[in-house]
Amino acid sequence: MKLIEREAALATLWNLFTESLCGRGKVAVVSGVVATGKTALLRAFAERATGSGAVFLGAAASHAGQGVPLGVLKQLVRGAGCPSGVRGEVRRLLDEGSGAAAFDEDHPRPDPGTQVTGAVLEELHRIVLRMAERAPLVIGVDDVHHADPASLRFLLYIAHRLKTARVLIVLTERTEPWRDHPLFHADLLSRPHCRRIRLEPLSRHGQARLLATRLGTRAGCRLAEVCHAVTGGNPLLVQALLKDNRLPVRDAELTVDGAYQRAVTSCLHRGGPAMASIARALAILREPAAPALLGRLVGLDTGQVTETMDAMATAGLLDTGRFRHPAARAAVLDGMAPEERAALHGRAARLLHDHGAAPPVVAAHLLAASRPAGTGPAGADQATAGLTVPGPAGPGTPTDAVSRVTSGSGAGLPGSISEFTAGYGDRPVAEAVTEPPLMPLPLTASAGRAASAFAPEAGPWALPVLEEAAEQALADGELHTALACLRLAHDACPDEDRRASVAGALARTEWRIDPTAVRRLLPALLSAAREGRLTGPPAVRLLGYLAWYGRTGEAIDVLGRLAGPGAAPPRGPVREVEAARLLMSCLCPEAMDRAAPGRDAAQDRAAVASPANRQLRAAATLSAALTGAPGHDVPGVAEQVLQGARLGETPSEYVLAALAALVYDDRPDKAARWCDPLLEEAAARRDTVAHAALATARAVISLRQGELVAAERHARAALSRLSPAGWGVAIGLPLSVMVSATTGMDRYEDAATYLGVAVPEAMFQTPCGLHYLQARGHYRLATGHAAAALADFRSCGDLARRWGFDVPGLVAWRADMARALIELGELREAAALAAEQLGRLRPGPSRTRGVTLYIQALTGDPADRRRLLREAVAVLEQSGDQYELALALGELSRAQHASGEGDLASVSARRARHLAERFGMPAAAGSPSRPGAPQAGTPGSPARSPAEQVAPELSPAGPAKRRPAGRAAAPTAGGTPARANVPVPELTEAERKVAALAAQGHTNRQIADTLLITVSTVEQHLTRVYRKLNVTRRADLRPELWSTTGTYAARNG
């Protein structure tokens, strides 16, 4: 094979050989770091020399052969170039000089340095001279630094006496200092006839030439920089890259695979034990380290570490103290046994701790050291083989167990309903919600287990290091790393009190990833809380875990120990216990009332006035919203709580409490503005439970805004975050949204499937149960089971009143019952319920007021119907519930048509269809018509869909009927298919206002009076509007105008 950038060295050797032919013996010492081509150079020169008639005696020393006496000399005389007579003569000579045993491979002498006497060396010298008289002689020894002492003595003796002999000795060596036989090296190089030849790594140009031999000239030049970044010019590594890559090679990319890793291993093996040890230490540490620390880690002095690392850098293995490519580090780790890796990680942890390294760094090594044999990170590191290097590769390291803990969180959205409901299957309710037989996690410390959890080098310092590293990982959102630290700390706790504290932190971390994992901790945590070993925030968090799984009795027991008579007073700036008690009164009101009858609710809600306590104010604000307590600024306080709230600082349950307070106070628009950034933050933090809960909150908000498609999307995302068993009693909320949204879109089979999911019985003792009952009632009402729906709505009312949560913003059960009664023909009772609910509303517009006005229009005097419907439309426009607005507009169109207001009826009909198309309602979805679809936690809908509410005569299809699935979207009043997202030509603000009012049927005079302009100005604006929109009359004005101006027109009309 052609040598590249070794031509000068080869020429120097040939010149020395030529001089030796004239009787002037020479010695050449070829130096270079590992794998820089010394052996290839010696082989190429030997071929050339023998081709010219010279005799070549060659040998290759090795680290393993250093203990074999005269091992190099044996190779020289046993080679093919040595005449058989000379071989026998050397044997007889050594036998006579008591050195024969050195040639006996079965019985070597114990002291190889004394095998050759001076007399024997002189005779050997004469034999060499006689051979050189017959033909020029070349003696070549590769890796002479590994030669045995006796052979080195022979070589040095011959080298001293070559002045007049036709002999050339060529020795190759590594550049690092000789530590075993420094005198040999110094003596040899001091001779005037000795010449040293240094081999350097290949330049970028040389690498391009070598790459070109396999990949072509253009590819070689293009990839030279990339190659240098990976190999540093080491010829062996460059050759390995060529083996890993086949034509065609993509632009500026090289694959780094098995051949490269094998070459790295070969380099380290050739480099000797010190180089291999340092490579293993660097692979374990992952980051550059000071030579002193590396020396302590592998048992070498600092000077030797520095010299070896310099050699590794020159050899293309390291760059700025780290491996040039992750595959190199992976190769080193793959060559280590799991036990060796664990032991080295343990020593690294102790040394790094002693040197003041950060807890996360030390903890990573403790985690790696604690793995059982065979479970180390090699598998992860092996995955770095086959990497593609794009562009010039900088220094890098693979990701392994030292820096992360692999997890399976972050499941995608289920592709179908069955993917979620399969988690429950057809099991009965009791079976579906009973905890599976999980192995409880004990809190009693086991000395044996605690001792085996850590590496032998770890001491008492390891436990606080793991705890601090876990806290840091939690703050950084690295939940699985925190979990691994806490699990190891838990297993290594020396006493029960410390073990209980760590178990509390472990439960907090498990909760953020998968609530089901916390269940195995609950028995031990309960026991620790009852015995007083679990206190403070961990004990308060235990209340939430228990309430989530419907274990309210145990939660109340723990709360009594924390806040009852004799309990320690709250400490710190945040009264966590009081806030938790108040929040529990909102989540499980009946159980809390039984536990503490006669508590003063006003005293509880007075906590709203505590400006410095975010948690307490959040819980108190939710309580005020649920009980409808007068004199409380629920939206103002809720927004103050949310202002500046961060999921890592404020517990997510209190963030959700403030959002729920806004929702139950009929402020879905405000809730949406706060919820969206929080939902993004939860996703970024990889907080599974917070993400699922906030997605559920956003689904409820979207449902109350009448956006059915968005509501379903958010609820589906929430359900995908947790397994069915992980939802506890909270499962009622996302299920109720899915039932309501699918019912509202005429997908009754889907709704029935979600209603078939088993739910825990304890859910019906929480507000989640109210939402679920209401959604089920809406489904029953929409599918023609009005009596069953009425029973569900009545149950909602009974529970809400019993708990003191009788506020329309939670569940407007009176409006729901009224709708069911309308279907049953009980109009008088329905009207009474609507009037009762209207009397319970606060002054001002709200979505509940709009719905109630709509129901009053259906049950009251027909003469008042249009007035009430117009009021309902105006209120719903302001409150933002698009679904209920579409229903009210549809009914208004019927009333207007019946009274002879054809133009206005047409306008209302087109607006209803536009909303239905825009927000995923049946008229635009092409699904079958059905009785109205309500919302979870909101008033229900009328007995007709938006399409069916339109006056029959306004639809080209005639009176509304049930449409089979798959039918096209309903046509607009003008007889053309409805269009979504059609752009409106650019109108000025004044033109848009006039057009909006004209499209709603107002006369020019009415428009002029509303906008405080002249009739002439109105006419001018309309002329320009008609021209821009390419229409000729008011009835042709497109419904897109209402998406931005309808509210203005309603407020000012």
Secondary structure tally for the chain: helices H, strands E: 52, 9
- Determine how many CB atoms are found less than 10 A away from the CB of residue 102: 27
Question: Per residue, what are the HEC states of 431-489?
Answer: HHHCCCCCCCCCCCCCHHHHHHHCCCCCCCCHHHHHHHHHHHHHHCCCHHHHHHHHHHH
The conformation of residue 426, written as its DSSP 8-state character, comes to: T
Answer yes or no: are the C-beta atoms of 395 and 229 closer than 8 Å: no
In this predicted model, what pLDDT tens digit does every residue of 158-193 receive, in sequence order? 999 988 899 999 999 998 766 677 888 889 999 999
> Which pLDDT score is estimated for 167?
97
Q: Is the dihedral of CA 703, 706, 712, 717 positive or negative?
A: negative
Superfamily in which the 808-954 domain is placed by CATH:
Tetratricopeptide repeat domain (1.25.40.10)
pLDDT of residue 541 exceeding 70, the answer is: yes
* Per-domain boundaries in the chain: 7-200, 205-390, 808-954, 989-1052
As a whole number, mean pLDDT of residues 846-851 equals 90
What's the order of all strands across the beta sheet hosting 55-60?
Answer: 55-60, 137-142, 167-173, 26-31, 194-198
Q: Which residue(s) pair with 172 in the sheet?
A: 30
pLDDT at 453: 59
Whether the CA torsion 949, 954, 957, 958 is positive or negative: it is: positive
pLDDT of residue 420: 46
Q: pLDDT tens, 305-362? A: 999 999 999 999 999 999 999 999 999 999 999 999 999 999 999 999 999 999 999 9
Query: What was the pLDDT predicted at 1010?
Result: 80
pLDDT band for 251, please (50, 70, 90 cuts): low
Give me the pLDDT at residue 273, please. Answer: 92
Determine phi and psi for 141, rounding to 5 degrees.
-125, 120
Q: What band does 881 get if pLDDT is binned at 50, 70 and 90?
A: confident
Burial of 380: CB neighbours in 10 Å, binned 0-12, 13-18, 19+: middle
Check: CB of residue 119 under 8 Å from CB of residue 97. yes
Query: Picking from 20-24, 456-460, 868-872, which range would have the lowest pLDDT averaged per residue?
Result: 456-460
Give the angle 236-238-240 at the CA atoms, nearest 5°.
70
pLDDT range class, residue 1040, cuts 50, 70, 90: low
Give the residue with greater pLDDT, 67 vs 240.
240
For residue 417, what pLDDT is reported? 47
pLDDT the model gives residue 52: 96
Contact 239, 210 (CB under 8 A): yes
Q: What is the pTM of this model?
A: 0.71
- 946 or 540: which leads in pLDDT: 540
Main-chain phi, psi angles of 106, to 5 degrees: -85, -25
Q: Residue 455 — pLDDT band, cuts 50, 70, 90? A: low
Average pLDDT of the residues in 905-911 = 89
Task: Determine the pLDDT at residue 606.
Answer: 54
Convert the pLDDT of each residue in 262-309 to its tens digit: 999 999 999 989 999 999 999 999 999 999 999 999 999 999 999 999
Reported as a pLDDT band with limits 50, 70 and 90, residue 231 is very high
Q: In terms of pLDDT, which residue wins out, 398 or 603? A: 603
CA of residue 48 relative to chain centroid, distance:
61
How far, in Å, CA of 150 to CA of 106, rounded?
A: 18
pLDDT at 380: 38
Q: What is the mean pLDDT of residues 127-139?
A: 95
DSSP one-letter string for 133-186: HHS-EEEEEETGGG--HHHHHHHHHHHHT-TTSSEEEEEEE-SSPPSS-HHHHH
Q: What digits encode the pLDDT tens for the residues 644-653?
A: 788 878 889 9
Single-letter amino acid, residue 384: T
Q: What is the pLDDT of residues 717-774, one digit of tens each?
A: 999 999 888 999 999 999 999 999 999 998 999 999 999 999 999 999 999 999 999 9
The pLDDT of residue 668 is above 50: yes
Query: Average pLDDT, whole number, for the chain?
Result: 81
Reply yes or no on whether the pLDDT at 392 is more than 60. Answer: no
Separation CA 145–CA 155 (nearest Å) = 12
CA dist., res. 353 & res. 948, Å (int): 74
CA 742 to chain centre: 31
Q: 989-1052: same fold as 808-954?
A: no
CA 327 to CA 264: how far, in whole Å?
9
d(CA 493, CA 185): 57
- Give the model's confidence band at 248: pLDDT under 50 very low, under 70 low, under 90 confident, else very high: low
pLDDT of residue 1035: 66
- Across the strands, what pairs with 142? 60
Of residues 931 and 1041, the one with the higher pLDDT is: 1041
Q: Quick one: average pLDDT of 1013-1024?
A: 87
Q: What is the pLDDT of residue 201?
A: 97
Decide if pLDDT at 106 tops 70. no
Task: Please give the pLDDT value at position 476.
Answer: 86
Q: What is the largest CA-CA distance in the chain?
A: 138
Which residues, 6+ apart, have CB-to-CB distance to 972 below 8 Å?
A: 910, 913, 978, 1039
Residue 694's identity, in one-letter code, is L
Place domain 7-200 in its CATH homologous superfamily.
P-loop containing nucleotide triphosphate hydrolases (3.40.50.300)
CATH topology (fold) of 989-1052: Arc Repressor Mutant, subunit A (1.10.10)
DSSP 3-state assignment of 720?
Answer: helix
